[in-house]
Structure 1
Amino acid sequence: MINTTDKNTTEPKVVWNFSNRNLAEEELRVLEKGMSYNHSCTVNRSKVISNVEYLFHQASKIPKESIDFKKWDEDPDDIANKEIRVLEPKQLSLAADLKSTTEKFFQHAQMSIKMRKDKNLNGNHDDKILLKLSKDLSILITKPDKGRGVVILDRNDYIEKLEKILSDNKKFKLLNQDPTISRQNALTTVLRQMKNEEYFTQQEYKYIKPVGSVPARLYGLPKVHKNNVPLRPIVS
C-alpha cells in the first residue's frame, strides 16, 4: 500500500498495489489522481443535440417521424408537394429556448475544458502512462470496496476469486440459456395489453416499453483492509 497526501489538501490519496508489477514513480503519480481523473474530456455535440431533439419531441408531443431524404434529393424542386409540419407558437418558443440553452451549455463546457487543460500541462504525458497501464493484461485496475483510492490486482488472481464466488450453488445457478429477452417480451406483452385497455397512452407506452435489455454484469470490488483481499461481488 502506498499512502500519499496532496499538498493542497489533508485528504490522503491511496494506491494499493497487490499485483506483481512494480509501479514506476510516474505511474504512481498518475494513479494517485484517482479513478475520476480525466483531463482530456470532450463534449460530444452530436449526442447532446440528439438528446435535446428527443427532449423537444417528448415535451411538445410531436412524433419524431423518419424522413425519406433520398426522395427529397431526387426531386428537390418539388417542395410544394411535400408535407411540411407547421409548429404552434408554444412549440416554436420551446424550440428557441432549447436552442439557446444548448448553445450556452456548449460555451460553458468549452470554457471549463480549456481551464482544466491550462491547469494540467502534463495531460498528454499522463494519457500515455495510463494507456501503457491499460495495455498490461496481467493487471486489473479498480477501486476499493469502501472509500476512495486505486487498487491494482493481478488479473488471474481477480478472475480466480470471482470464479470462486460464482461456484457457490446456494447463490448462483448455471442456466442453459439467457432468459433476458423472453422476460422482456413477456413484460412488453403485459404493457401492450394495459395500453390497449387505456391504462396509459401510446406515448407513455413507448416511453416505458423495455428495449435492448441485457443481463446484469457481475464484478468484484476488493476489500483492501482484509486478509487475502477478498472481493465484494457487485451485480450491475
Structure 2
Amino acid sequence: MSPSYRECQRRLLRAEIGFKYRDLRILKKNYIRHLDELKIYIPDNVFQHVSNYIINRSRAVLYVKEDNLQRKINSLRAGHRRAPRVDRNVVKNLSSRTLSHDETECLAHGLDYGLVPKNIDDMNIVSNIENFFQRITDISQHHRRMMSEVSDTDTVDGSDVRILDSKEMTLASNFRSITDSFRRQSYHFAQLQNRINTEQQKYRRLLQNLKNDKSIVVTRPDKGRGVVLLDKADYLSKMHSILNDITKFSFLSYDPTIARETKLIKLLNRLLDEGSISKEFNNLAKPFGSIPGRLYGLPKVHKEDVPLRPVVSAIKTFNYGLGKALSLLLSQFIEKTNMIRDSFSFVDELLALPKCMSQYKMVSFDIASLYTNVPLTETIDIILKHLYDGHAKPPTISREDMKELLDLATEKSHFLFNGQLYDQIDGVSMGNRNIPSNEPDPP
C-alpha cells in the first residue's frame, strides 16, 4: 500500500471521527440543557427518579447498539460471512439436460453473478485511470487542438507541447502510486480467493461444464428475472422460423458494415458543413469501428410452446448513435400527453380519474411482434409529414436529408445470427434506438 493511499485513508478516517465527535458534543450539550430545564420544573426526588430511568434506559439501548455493531464486525471477518440466499425456482430448465443440485444452485445466482477472475486485466485498469486523469485536466482538449494544428501544418512547434505543472505532476504521481497498490492488492486477492474459496472453484468448474455442452443454450427469460435453459436445436429452429419471413428479413452474402458506415459519415460531414446539424448531433451520430448487430432470442416462458422474442444487440452498430440522435431530435416535436412513462405513472393516472369512470372496463390488447410489424415506409412518410407539414418551425435538416437519415437508421439494419448475416428490410428490431420514447437515456 502506497504512502499516499494510506494518508488518504487516514484523512478520511480522521474527518469521519471528527464529525462523530462534533455530533457527540452537540448531543451532550443539548442533554445537559434539557436536564437543567427539567430540574427547574419538577421536585428533586422526582427528578432523581427520572434521571435514573433515563440512564438505565440509555444503557440498555447502548448495549443493543454495541451488540449490533459487533455482529456487523464479525460478519465482515473471513469465514463468518453469510451465504447469499439463493432461490432455485428462478431456474427454468426447458432442455433435455438434467441439471444436478449443484448446477441448479449455481445458476440460481443469476446471470449477473460473477466469479473472481483468475487474472487481473492490468491494461484495462491503467487505461481507465489515464482516461480519468485526462477528464479532470485539460490535457485531452489540448491534445485535440494540437493534433488539429499538426494536420494543417504537419509540424509541431515546441511551444505547443503541453507541460504538466507541479500540481498535475503530483496528482499523476499519486494516481500512479494508488494504481500500483490497487493492482497488487487485486492480484493478491484474486489469487487468494481462487486458492482458498472452494465455492468459487466449484462454481467455475460447473459453469465450464455447462459452457462445454453445445447442445443447450443458457439465457434469461423475456420478462422477469431468472435463468432459462433451452435445447439449442429447438432454439435455432424457432429463431430460423422468424428469420425465414422474407417480407421482414433477407439473407446477406457479404458484410455491408464498412460501406454503410462510410455512407453515413459522408452524409453527416456534409450536413455539418452546411450547418444543418449541430456538432453535438454529429458527435453522437457519427460511427467509428462499427460491427454488425447481434441477434438473440428471449424465451417467453409464460406462454404456451415458449416462443422467442427476437432482440438485436445494436451497440457499436453503424446506426446506433444515429438512432439515439434522431430519437432526441424527434422527441422535441412529439406531444407526450398520451404517453405513459411506466406502470407506476399509469397507476397514478388511474387513481386520479373521477369516480364516474369506474363504470367503464379497461381492455388490454397484445400485439404479436409489434416492432417487426411496423411498416417502415409508411411510418417514415408520416414522420416527414408531421415534421415539415405540421410545424411552423421544421428541423434545420432538409426533408430529403431527413428521409435519408431515417432510412439509414431503420431500413439499413443488418445483424449476425449463428454465423450468418441478415438484413432487416421491414419493421424495426428490439434493441435499436430508432423510435422516440418517453424513457430517459441510459447512463
Normalised by the size of structure 2, how large is the TM-score?
Answer: 0.40
Mean alpha-carbon deviation: is it higher for 11-20 or for 124-133? 11-20
1:23 has 2:99 as partner: yes
Which of 230, 234, 254 does residue 177 from structure 1 map onto? 254
Higher RCO, Cα 8 Å, sep 6+: 1
Q: What CA deviation, in whole Å up to 9, does each residue of 1:175-204 have, x standing for no partner?
A: 453332112112322444567679659xx9
1:187 has 2:264 as partner: yes
The 8 Å contact of residues 86 and 105 in structure 2, kept in 1 or not, is answered as no
Shift of 1:109: 6.3
Which of 145, 152, 158 does residue 229 from structure 2 map onto? 152
Hey, what's the Cα distance between the residues in 2 that align with 1:168 and 1:11? 39
Residue number in structure 2 paired with 1:140: 217
Shift of 1:211: 1.9
> Cα gap change, 1:48/1:172 in structure 2, threshold over 3 Å: closer, same or farther?
same
Counterpart residue identity of residue 112, structure 2:
S
Secondary structure of 1:122's counterpart equals: helix
Hey, what's the Cα distance between the residues in 2 that align with 1:98 and 1:165? 52
The 8 Å contact of residues 86 and 109 in structure 2, kept in 1 or not, is answered as no
1:33 has 2:113 as partner: no
Hey, what's the Cα distance between the residues in 2 that align with 1:122 and 1:9? 14
Calculate the aligned-residue CA RMSD, in Å.
4.0
The 8 Å contact of residues 88 and 105 in structure 2, kept in 1 or not, is answered as no
The 8 Å contact of residues 221 and 233 in structure 1, kept in 2 or not, is answered as yes
Mean alpha-carbon deviation: is it higher for 111-120 or for 45-54? 111-120
The 8 Å contact of residues 300 and 309 in structure 2, kept in 1 or not, is answered as yes
Secondary structure of 2:143's counterpart equals: coil
Counterpart residue identity of residue 164, structure 1:
S
Mean alpha-carbon deviation: is it higher for 96-105 or for 225-234? 96-105
Larger radius of gyration: 2
Hey, what's the Cα distance between the residues in 2 that align with 1:112 and 1:36? 21
The 8 Å contact of residues 194 and 201 in structure 2, kept in 1 or not, is answered as no
Shift of 1:22: 1.2
Hey, what's the Cα distance between the residues in 1 that align with 2:264 and 2:202? 50
* Aligned length, in residue pairs: 213
Residue number in structure 2 paired with 1:44: 121
The 8 Å contact of residues 144 and 222 in structure 1, kept in 2 or not, is answered as yes
Residue number in structure 1 paired with 2:339: none
Counterpart residue identity of residue 157, structure 1:
D
Secondary structure of 2:209's counterpart equals: helix
Hey, what's the Cα distance between the residues in 2 that align with 1:180 and 1:140? 28
Aligned identity (percent) is: 37
Secondary structure of 2:245's counterpart equals: coil
Residue number in structure 1 paired with 2:143: 63
User: Gapped runs of 5+ residues in structure 2?
Assistant: 1-82, 147-159, 314-443
> Cα gap change, 1:62/1:119 in structure 2, threshold over 3 Å: closer, same or farther?
farther
Counterpart residue identity of residue 143, structure 2:
P
Shift of 1:119: 10
Q: What CA deviation, in whole Å up to 9, does each residue of 1:94-137 have, x standing for no partner?
A: 63565477568658967986998799531101111110111011
Which of 237, 240, 260 does residue 163 from structure 1 map onto? 240
